[in-house]
Amino acid sequence: MTYQSPIALRLLVPLLCLALLPLIASAHVGHMDMADEPALGASAAFDANGRLWLATVRDGHVLLRHSEDLGRSFSQPVQVNPVAETIYASGENRPKVATGPAGQIDVQWTEQPTPGWTGYIRFARSTDGGRHFSAPITVNHDPAKVTRGFDSLAIAGNGDVVVAWIDGRDAAQAKSAGKPYAGFAFYYTWSTDGGETFAPERKLVDHSCECCRTALARQPDGKVAAFFRGVYEGNIRDHAFAVLHTDGQANHPERATFSNWRVAACPDQGPGLAIGAHGVRHAVWFEASHGPAIWYGQLDPGHAPRHALKLGGAGASHADVAVAGKTVWVAWNQVSAKGYSLILRVSHDGGAHFGEARTIASSKLAVGSPQLLERADAAYVAWNTADGFRLIAIKER
């Protein structure tokens, strides 16, 4: 679901969307299809050897490239899907790449099988260093052409591939029956055989936000946890947390933020999650109950986040978070009349306090959502812009 538009409009979109949210009922805010700019949805990941992998979309193909020199140069692209598809490639709904301990490279994306807000979750794996990929498969077993997307991908500690997404099947069924249904639902599945097959998808919870990206992170015990925006009674758009069980255990999703932001539209602003070595759940999210803002907090599911701190105000959007030891990094896009800035704040005491915000990059052209990456306890920001991909090393002051 790409959002691409002339620069003047793009600079105003985050602010205009917030102003219009109360007037829009169940809208997919911030998604248009225009062909005058490149698809900005991209994902990057480091492998165990420090090589950078980058997944982008062009001409109906997910393209994978790698860099041996921290993004200064890249290999020739490899087509992950040999047959062209219509692929969603916005910052919130972008292709994903993940690397495993045995050198495997997993790539995931959402195909639009028919016109309209339809989606199939697609997956392919390389076991030969990205030279070739398995034939792409559709992960969701339900064949209905309904809205799906805003997917996330993670590899569990035991090597299982875990996939989650937002799914509109229950909302479509309710609509057909003349019954109300707020938002969509959160579904997930997993593979125990290296992505060759996936278990029938499992619904975690009803009433998730329609077009906010989902976030997955691996816990110290190897299990994968999810953080995503839900829809609570009265159209309150707060967030939920859950461990995604793949062993038959019952799931226990719990509300994890309590801003009580009441809005009858999707803000197109998904959260970020990073889990430290001792299990601390570092999270970032967007809400506008008292004005638009990026927030940081340490999740305590069922209760308000600990160390909650407003990090960025008006014009701040699409934040991500990473952690290594006691260092926590948070990065986000900041829009102004001059263009876009990439903003960073860092904590050196486990998230109890953060240093001042500083600009680490800027662009006068359109940008995608930033992604924080770790490599040997150092952090980088992957930032795809209309004038090219950038990997920005975070330097200590």
pLDDT tens figures, 158-180: 999 999 999 999 999 999 999 99
User: What is the predicted pLDDT for the residue at 264?
Assistant: 86
Supply the mean pLDDT for the chain: 90
User: What is the predicted pLDDT for the residue at 39?
Assistant: 87
What's the length of the chain?
Answer: 397
Cα-based angle 282, 285, 288 (whole degrees, multiple of 5): 145
Candidate from 4-13, 84-93, 159-168, 181-190 with smallest mean pLDDT: 4-13
243 pLDDT exceeds 90?
yes
Please give the single-letter amino acid code of residue 316. Answer: A
Residue 9, φ and ψ in degrees, nearest 5: -70, -40
- Which whole number is the average pLDDT over 175-196? 97
- The owner of tokens 């495993």 is 100
Q: Which fold has domain 7-393?
A: Neuraminidase (2.120.10)
Give the confidence band of 368 by pLDDT, cuts at 50, 70, 90. very high
d(CA 204, CA 130): 32
Looking from the CA of 319 toward its CB, the CA atoms found within 13 Å total 31
34 pLDDT exceeds 60?
no
Share of the chain above pLDDT 90, in %: 87
- Which whole number is the average pLDDT over 245-255? 96
Share of the chain above pLDDT 70, in %: 90
The residue extents of the domains of the chain are: 7-393
Give the confidence band of 212 by pLDDT, cuts at 50, 70, 90. very high
CA distances from 177 to 48, 144, 172, 180, 206 (A): 50, 16, 9, 9, 16
User: What is the predicted pLDDT for the residue at 397?
Assistant: 66
Contact 105, 125 (CB under 8 A): yes
Higher model confidence: residue 242 or residue 3? 242
User: What is the predicted pLDDT for the residue at 213?
Assistant: 96
User: What is the predicted pLDDT for the residue at 345?
Assistant: 98
2 pLDDT exceeds 70?
no
- The strand ranges marked E within 116-271 are 120-126, 137-138, 148-155, 161-167, 184-191, 202-208, 215-218, 224-229, 239-243, 254-255
378 pLDDT exceeds 90?
yes
User: What is the predicted pLDDT for the residue at 377?
Assistant: 83
- The owner of tokens 């329609």 is 210
- Which whole number is the average pLDDT over 212-233? 97
Contact 117, 168 (CB under 8 A): yes
d(CA 268, CA 212): 5
User: What is the predicted pLDDT for the residue at 101?
Assistant: 87
32 pLDDT exceeds 90?
no
- Which whole number is the average pLDDT over 189-196? 97
118 pLDDT exceeds 90?
yes
Higher model confidence: residue 392 or residue 5? 392
Instruction: Looking at mean pLDDT, say which of 27-31, 96-100, 265-269, 392-396 comes out highest.
Output: 96-100
- Which whole number is the average pLDDT over 262-282? 95
List of residues 6+ apart from 20 with CB closer than 8 A: 29, 265
